Every structure is written in C-alpha cells, then in structure tokens.
Structure 1
Amino acid sequence: MSEATNETMCDAIRDALRMIIDPELGRNIVELGLIYDVSVEDGGIAHVTMTTTTRGCPASEYLKEAVRNCVWYVPGVEYAEVRLTYEPAWTPAMMSA
C-alpha cells in the first residue's frame, strides 16, 4: 500500500469515527480526543488505539464496539482491531476547540 493510500484510508477512518458520539459528553469521540492513533497495514488491516474519559467508564465496551463497526464500513478495510489504553490518561485539554 502506498503511503498516500495509507494516509487517505486513515483520514477516511477518522472522518467515519466522527459519527460516534460519547454518551456522557454528547460530542464525537474524535473531537473529544479519545482516538489516539489510526494506522492501516497492507491488506486493509486497520488499527485504532483509543481511550475513554475515565478508567472503568461504563461505556467502554459500547464505544470500542462502535469504533470497530464504524471502521469496518470504510472502503478498503478488511479487518479492524481496536485497542483501548489509558496511557496517557485522557484530560479535557485533549478536546479540539
């Protein structure tokens, strides 16, 4: 996969993830800064590293599953892996303006 194609797919994934609204804060997870990294390997294998606003968030599994399902619908994605992390811990400063 060319670097340009990879970058285009990563951008498409981030755009798709804007549809997912955090149930607690009512804003999309990209603007909230909950998506730490998006990468795509050859063969359309997408990796998303994300967090939640707090460790033990009751919506963690809901958000993780929503991200996985959303990524699957991006053209060219053949497999979606979502990793939840709390390093670094999320803070309101990570939100976009």
Structure 2
Amino acid sequence: MSGVNTDVLGEKIVEKLKSIFDPEIPVDIYELGLIYDVFVNEKHDVKILMTLTSPNCPVAETLPVEVEEKVRSIDEVRNAEVEITFDPPWTQDMMSEEAKLELGFL
C-alpha cells in the first residue's frame, strides 16, 4: 500500500468517478456535481459523500453500490463507502461548465 500518496489516489478516484454516468443524463456523476466530497485516510479507506438528482431517482438503490464497487476496484483502495445526503439538495448550478455545455445550458 505504501508508495501512493492520498493526492494521487484521490485523482485516481476522481478518474473512476468520471466513468460512472447518470442513466437519465448523458454526463458523468462527477461533472454533474453529484459528488460532494471524497475522503481518503492513510490506510486508503475511502468515503464518498454524494447526492442524487432527486430522492426519487430511479438509481437510488444501484448508483451508490456502483460507485463503491468501481472505487473499490482501484488497487490501492482498501475499502470504499458511499454516504448519500440531500443536504444541500442538488441543483443544476452544481454542474461543471463542461456538463452545462454538454446539456445545452450554456
């Protein structure tokens, strides 16, 4: 496990998160602004604080599991846990400029 600092691991995690797409919107969950925070401790345990576009999101059950599995698939990650929050609630303002451009909001 040694040799990879948490910043490099954080970048790998973000890269992995950018491979996960919201099924209703053709933009990845990171650019959509659904990821609020990524915590990595010195033991390479990862905790991801994220939201969904709405509490009734059709993937509310499966998306957090997919996020955990994909992050856990990174060799240096020991464990991954996703916590869902709706505080603050997601809005279109949380999307990156890239996502807004992709969806025609700019």
Query: Could you tell me the TM-score, scaled by structure 1's length?
Result: 0.91
Deviation at 1:74, TM superposition (A): 1.5
How high is the sequence identity, in percent, across the aligned residues? 40
Q: What does residue 65 of structure 1 align with?
A: 65
Question: Which whole-Å deviations, capped at 9, do the CAs of 1:72-92 have from their partners, x for residues lacking one?
Answer: 111210100100000110000
Which amino acid counterpart does residue 67 of structure 1 have in structure 2? Answer: V
Asked if the contact 2:6–2:44 (Cα under 8 Å) also holds between the matched residues in 1, the reply is no
Matches of 1:35 and 1:42 in 2, distance apart?
21
Distance 1:92 1:71 in 2: 25
Tell me, yes or no, if structure 1 residue 22 matches structure 2 residue 22. Answer: yes
Which is higher, the Rg of structure 1 or of structure 2? 2
Separation in 2, partners of 1:54, 1:68: 19
The letter of the residue matching 1:66 is E
Q: Any stretches of 5+ residues in structure 2 without a counterpart?
A: 98-106
Separation (CA, whole Å) in 2 of partners of 1:10 and 1:70: 14
How far apart, in 1, do the equivalents of 2:61 and 2:67 lie? 10
Matched-pair contact (CA < 8 Å) for 2:51–2:86? yes
Question: Matches of residues 76-87 of structure 1 in structure 2 within 5 Å?
Answer: 76-87=76-87
Q: Which residue of 2 aligns with 1:53?
A: 53
* Corresponding letter in the other structure for 2:14: R
Aligned residue number for residue 96 of structure 1: 96
SS at match of 1:60: coil
Q: How does 1:31-46 map to 2 (within 5 A)?
A: 31-46=31-46
The two structures have a TM-score, normalised by structure 2, of: 0.84
The residue type paired with residue 88 of structure 1 is P
CA–CA distance in structure 1, aligned partners of residues 86 and 46 of structure 2: 20
